[in-house]
Amino acid sequence: MSSHDVPSKTLDQIEFDNRFTNQLPADPSEVVRPRQVEHAAYSRVAPTATAGPVTVAVAAEVAELLELAPGEVETQRFADVFSGNELLEGMDPFAMAYAGHQFGNFAGQLGDGRAIGLGEVRTSDGDHWMLQLKGAGPTPYSRRADGLAVLRSSIREFLCSEAMYHLGVPTTRALSLIRTGDQVMRDMLYDGNPALEPGAVVCRVAPTFIRFGNFELFSWREEIDELRQLAAFTIETEFPEIASAHEDSGSPEAVAAFFAEVARRTATMAVHWMRVGFVHGVMNTDNMSILGLTIDYGPYGWLEDFDPGWTPNTTDASHKRYQFGNQPQIAQWNLVQLANALYPLVEEVEPLQAGIAVFAEAFEIEWNQMMADKLGFDSLEEEHGKLVNELFEVLQLTETDMTIFYRQLADVPVADGSVDIDAAIDETLAAAYYVPSELTDDVRQRIGTWLESYAAQIAKLGRSDADRKVAMNAVNPKFVLRNYLAQVAIDKAEAGDDSLVVELLEVLRRPYDEQPGNEYFAQPRPEWARTKVGCSMLSCSS
């Protein structure tokens, strides 16, 4: 269906069919206080009313997915609905129950502590989109928290969801960012200095928000009937090709096939994270989507200086479990926990081990192709492996901006097998180096030697510099949601000016384009942002 064919619906014309709440076991109690919820996939709970909702920004492409007429998103009623003040006919609000491993340790029941699903939209072409409000108030899974969200974390979630989508990274989407008019108390750095901050709500959109932890909860409690019901439901609704190949969607064979597909998608997601320099920051199993989508944008960050050991999460600062370079291994570890949760349905280790092997194989194949694409090769041949390993060492010799380096490398002339090293380092690649004084003779020699090897390999391919640049620029973005850009937008918004949020959303829609006039958004991290809170490290409250 082309964009011209998309029906333009009013809010009242949106259709909900709510498969999750209709087909899975519900919590019989509607008590909102924190409590253990057994034998249930979710609890019904209404969003908390807000004082004065005002729309900050809307992702037009997401509104189009839901077939909403453009004019609808500009109404006060849109702000009322997507802040939680009004429920549309057919909505069935709920909070999911799930467990999870947090920083490597099983944490028991977790659940949607500040997210409330509104229901599932069914579009005219049969697609399903679950709508979820983040920051819409307490649920039975809120533990000691208030279930609300503040403007700074909501801006980060909204912008990054859409930035990742336009980068080609599998992700949940974000429809809207709405100020609530309420003040929310937060201790941003967990240092005993709480302060009131403006509240906000993001409407997140995905085919489903089911996570690894949904299966872990039932398995941990030995609620095997519910575990099988959840597996069969997930396979039938989200993996129809597997359902159609098996008579019983809850059979051991179907569940094993489902797990293998989850593993493959998770590998693809992890490769994309490494491609663009994204660091999730809190890869707990309750933050892992069974669709292989990036989910839960909390203390994430973008790798600026190429440091595989960097994590943006203050909670993880000492152990660095979720550092950039660990993400593929953590993804696999998380899959092992999902396999353990599914074991009661399969009752054999081998089919689940085969799923883990699918992850390893898919990751290796896709990683190799990704690195080939980033460097302008057709594929990553054996002789390129040493070149890639040396590049990762060279990038760490001096503080080097990952995004700028790859983008500028496409502009270094190498097609004839030779390279002007001084021009490459001092002109073309210069913007990628944060501390020029660190470019000592030894460092320059290592960079130069690598560039010569790279030029020799490109010359073997017979690829012109012009063709190579087009290919490389298609996978190496010019614009990413740099940590300091998000913080500048937050600072302005907290002072009452939302314009940079809207401007960033527009720039990040075209991350691979040159965008003349928007060079500011592609600049390296300024020195003032090196250690500023929000630019270098964030807490889970962020």
pLDDT at 542: 45
Confidence of residue 6 (pLDDT cuts 50, 70, 90): low
- Asked if 515 contacts 477 with a C-beta cutoff of 8 angstroms, the reply is no
User: Of 104, 102, 146, 137, which Cα lies nearest the Cα of 118?
Assistant: 137
Distance CA 219, CA 344 (A): 7
Over residues 457-461, mean pLDDT:
95
Angle separating helix axes 465-473 and 349-375, nearest 10 degrees: 140
| Other residues' Cβ atoms within 10 Å of the Cβ of residue 3 | 7
Distance CA 281, CA 242 (A): 32
- Asked if 200 contacts 151 with a C-beta cutoff of 8 angstroms, the reply is yes
Is residue 1 over pLDDT 70? no
What does the block give as tokens for 533? 């809170």
Distance CA 459, CA 74 (A): 54
3 or 184, higher pLDDT: 184
In the 8-state DSSP scheme, what is residue 87? P
Sequence length of the chain is 542
Question: Which residues pair with residue 196 across a beta bridge?
Answer: 185
Over residues 297-301, mean pLDDT:
94
- Asked if 430 contacts 436 with a C-beta cutoff of 8 angstroms, the reply is yes
Confidence of residue 5 (pLDDT cuts 50, 70, 90): low
3-state class (DSSP) for residue 337: helix
3-state class (DSSP) for residue 174: strand
In the 8-state DSSP scheme, what is residue 77? H
Average pLDDT, the chain: 96
Distance CA 534, CA 519 (A): 22
Residues contacting 385, CB < 8 A, separation 6+:
none
Catalytic residues: 286
- Asked if 298 contacts 307 with a C-beta cutoff of 8 angstroms, the reply is no
Is residue 406 over pLDDT 70? yes
- Looking at the chain, the whole-number percentage of residues with pLDDT higher than 90 is 92
Distance CA 234, CA 506 (A): 34
Predicted structure pTM score: 0.97
Confidence of residue 541 (pLDDT cuts 50, 70, 90): low
| Other residues' Cβ atoms within 10 Å of the Cβ of residue 510 | 14
Residues contacting 393, CB < 8 A, separation 6+:
446
Distance CA 521, CA 384 (A): 32
DSSP-assigned letters across all residues of 388-409: HHHHHHHTTTTTBBHHHHHHHH
Element (H, E) at 42: strand 42-44
- Asked if 332 contacts 359 with a C-beta cutoff of 8 angstroms, the reply is yes
What does the block give as tokens for 238? 């989200």
User: Of 228, 225, 224, 254, which Cα lies nearest the Cα of 242?
Assistant: 254
User: Of 225, 244, 246, 270, which Cα lies nearest the Cα of 351?
Assistant: 246
- The predicted-structure confidence for 7-63, as pLDDT tens digits, reads as follows 699 999 999 999 999 999 999 999 999 999 999 999 999 999 999 999 999 999 999
3-state class (DSSP) for residue 508: coil
In the 8-state DSSP scheme, what is residue 424? I
